[in-house]
Structure 1
Amino acid sequence: MSVRTTEGAGTGAETSPQPAPPAPGPSFGARLLGPQRRNLWFWVFVGPFAIGLGLFTYVPLAWSVYLSFFDAHNTVTPTDFVGLDNYTSMLGDDAFLGSLGTFLLFTVFIVPATFALSLGLALMVNRLRFAQAFFRSVFFLPTACSYVVASLIWKLSIFNGVRFGLANTVLGWFGGDQTAWLSTTHPPWYWLVIVTVRLWLQAGFYMILFLAGLQRISPQLYEAAAVDGARPGWQVFRHLTFPQLRATSVAVVLLLVINAFQAFDEFYNLLSDARGYPPYARPPLVYLYYTALGREQNLGLGSAGAVILALIIAVATVVQARWFGLGRKED
């Protein structure tokens, strides 16, 4: 009796079913393509752009960070590791710190001027009852112009510095003296040239942003304000229109500051000549250009400066976003 029980128990243990192995999951390629290859055309269109973005943007950025820790004179494959020496050298360089001061001065000029001009253009275009699309296109058209071409037009035709320049011609009509706009430092007339060309190039783009914000404001709010006795004009703009444009205004200010950090084309093409670049009005990117690609070609030092500049832009953007409350729920 006991023997049979033991044998039965043994037989039962031997014939108990084993758990089935887990089914293999879909491969990486299958997950990318999705069920029934629904994502195929997405990757057909996005794939080339993603590859180009990685090769021409992210790989150079990573390599620049790598170079910043090496003594890279005339080479992109350095072997002499110097740690943070390039960073300390840049932070102790008066010329680099002076270029940051140039940026701050440029920001003080260009950000309020562009903000006011683009907002004013948006308000005028938004009030038009006819040909609104035409004037919107006219003001936006300079955005498509190259910074290099616009800078050369400003330099050679408008602010030439000789009697054939448009600005000096207009001054001559009123009995004014000829002015060397780009080489006069007392007073610094070159700021007028730099700021006006940037205004002409970018005001139309920010006008479109403000125009989109204005068209999102409900007309019922203006009707309610009129019923409450609000006077059209400044009172309605101050207490109704401008508060409704808060999110757009924050985005515009952030973009303006970031673009001011990246100023290069207008400065370089307006102020440089056969003798080189003058010692004044040298923004960070122009200084880094001459550091990395100038006579010494110190790519390690230039890369360290580029990393410092990128960190400054990131910190400034985050601080502004927190200060303006970007992303917070509106009441």
Structure 2
Amino acid sequence: MRTKTNKYLRQEMTAWFMSAPALIILLLFMIVPLLMSVYFSFTNRMLIMPPHLSTKFLGLENYRRILEQNDFFIALMNTLKFALVVVPVQTTLALLLALLINSKLRFIYFFRTVFFSPVVITMVVVSIIWSLLLAPGPEGFINSFLSHITFGAFEPKAWLFDKHSSLYAIMMFSIWQGVGFQMIIFLAGLQYISKDLYEASGLDGASKIQQFFYVTLPQLRNTSVFIMITTTIFAFKLFTQVLVLTNGGPQDSTLTLVYLLYSEGFTKMKIGYSSAIGVLFFLIVLLISIVQMKLTKVNREG
């Protein structure tokens, strides 16, 4: 009995030893910064404290100021709008592309590379490229293309300089850049599905469409939940595109929560205030993730 206990103890110690590097990194770069943000959110902390000021406890003052100003709610609505469009569209396109490249087509590995290649390009480079494509006036590629296919009926737009189109333009190339990541995950899920299920349903007379709805989608349920949650988190982290292209404009039409946090903390140097925004942002994303998991759990049980 003692030998078995010692064996299990050694195994447990080995597991903790092997996990220690990852746990230390998690502690130093995630848990500690989160706790520091919570602490600073209750203070008047500045990025560079003036000599005549010291860090003071303000209680809920920073949170009260956030709720009294419109910037936070504008950023929240823009972020929600971005997520509500990008998440379902990107997920649907990823599934369709995964179905396409999972079939036996010629040059299928070439298409897999083409569809996935935008993912490996950094968002800064993607934003610069699309700023050229979305350039205002007839010299912009997209304006020129739309003008040609409509035989001059389309009037060139200033996509990134119009408050009505700037956020949708960012949505468009964000979907293009990120869809390959979800596609690869869906592809892995598709290849995990047993072919026996398709053969059995085919013998029962199921069509391709019926197989998709009654075999493919149910088998991809866990994969879809993972993709929906991760895509939602990525959508709420919208920042690089805004920083490179619009700086939150025009007229706050592309102002997002992460950009507002960055602006308050590193441009205006109000670390306490930006930490409060960060805490609220964390709670919002956590709440949405929990709701998504609860809803998908209910659907699975139903």
TM-score bracket for the superposition, by shorter chain length: 0.7 to 0.9
> SS in structure 2 opposite 1:128?
coil
Residues 247, 72 of structure 1: alpha-carbon distance in 2 compared, 3 angstrom cutoff = same
Cα distance in 2 between the residues matched to 1:191 and 1:144:
23
Q: Which residue of 2 aligns with 1:168?
A: 143
Displacement of 1:60 in angstroms is 2.5
Cα distance in 2 between the residues matched to 1:34 and 1:110:
44
Q: Would the aligned equivalents of 2:167 and 2:253 in 1 still touch at CA under 8 Å?
A: no
Residues 113-152 of structure 1 aligned to structure 2 (within 5 Å): 113-152=89-128
Cα distance in 2 between the residues matched to 1:255 and 1:33:
31
Summarize deviations over 1:5-26 as a string: whole Å, max 9, x none.
xxxxxxxxxxxxxxxxxxxxx9
* Range with greater deviation from structure 2 (234-243 or 96-105): 234-243
Structure 1 segments (4+ residues) deviating >6 Å: 30-33, 328-331
Q: Which residue of 2 aligns with 1:261?
A: 236
Q: Would the aligned equivalents of 1:139 and 1:204 in 2 still touch at CA under 8 Å?
A: yes
1:300 equivalent in alignment to 2:236? no
Cα distance in 2 between the residues matched to 1:195 and 1:301:
28
1:182 equivalent in alignment to 2:170? no
Q: Would the aligned equivalents of 1:230 and 1:236 in 2 still touch at CA under 8 Å?
A: yes
Cα distance in 1 between the residues matched to 2:174 and 2:47:
34
Displacement of 1:140 in angstroms is 1.5
Q: TM-score, normalised by structure 1?
A: 0.78
Cα distance in 2 between the residues matched to 1:219 and 1:291:
54
Q: Would the aligned equivalents of 2:93 and 2:179 in 1 still touch at CA under 8 Å?
A: yes
Residues 68-217 of structure 1 aligned to structure 2 (within 5 Å): 68-75=41-48, 78-155=54-131, 157-173=132-148, 174-175=151-152, 176-185=154-163, 188-217=164-193
Residues 31, 75 of structure 1: alpha-carbon distance in 2 compared, 3 angstrom cutoff = farther
Residues 34, 250 of structure 1: alpha-carbon distance in 2 compared, 3 angstrom cutoff = closer
Q: Which residue of 2 aligns with 1:19?
A: none
Q: Would the aligned equivalents of 1:70 and 1:78 in 2 still touch at CA under 8 Å?
A: no
Q: Would the aligned equivalents of 2:161 and 2:250 in 1 still touch at CA under 8 Å?
A: no
Q: Which residue of 2 aligns with 1:321?
A: 293
Cα distance in 1 between the residues matched to 2:195 and 2:220:
14
Summarize deviations over 1:46-65 as a string: whole Å, max 9, x none.
73x65555444433322222
Displacement of 1:239 in angstroms is 1.9
Cα distance in 2 between the residues matched to 1:330 and 1:122:
26
Residues 103, 329 of structure 1: alpha-carbon distance in 2 compared, 3 angstrom cutoff = closer
Cα distance in 2 between the residues matched to 1:107 and 1:230:
35
Summarize deviations over 1:175-205 as a string: whole Å, max 9, x none.
02221111123xx222332112111211011
Displacement of 1:117 in angstroms is 0.6
Q: Would the aligned equivalents of 1:118 and 1:203 in 2 still touch at CA under 8 Å?
A: yes
Q: Would the aligned equivalents of 1:67 and 1:78 in 2 still touch at CA under 8 Å?
A: no
Q: Would the aligned equivalents of 1:68 and 1:86 in 2 still touch at CA under 8 Å?
A: yes
Displacement of 1:135 in angstroms is 2.5
Structure 2: gaps of 5 or more residues: 1-5
**Counterpart residue identity of residue 161, structure 2:** S
The structure whose RCO (Cα within 8 Å, separation 6+) is larger is 2
Structure 1: gaps of 5 or more residues: 1-25
Q: Which residue of 2 aligns with 1:8?
A: none
> SS in structure 1 opposite 2:44?
coil
Cα distance in 2 between the residues matched to 1:33 and 1:238:
44
Cα distance in 1 between the residues matched to 2:130 and 2:44:
40
Residues 211, 32 of structure 1: alpha-carbon distance in 2 compared, 3 angstrom cutoff = closer
1:58 equivalent in alignment to 2:31? yes
> SS in structure 1 opposite 2:173?
helix
Q: Would the aligned equivalents of 1:272 and 1:278 in 2 still touch at CA under 8 Å?
A: no
1:251 aligns with one of 226, 229, 251 = 226
Structure (1 or 2) with the larger CA radius of gyration: 1
Displacement of 1:252 in angstroms is 0.9
Displacement of 1:74 in angstroms is 4.2
Q: Would the aligned equivalents of 1:271 and 1:278 in 2 still touch at CA under 8 Å?
A: no
Identity %: 35
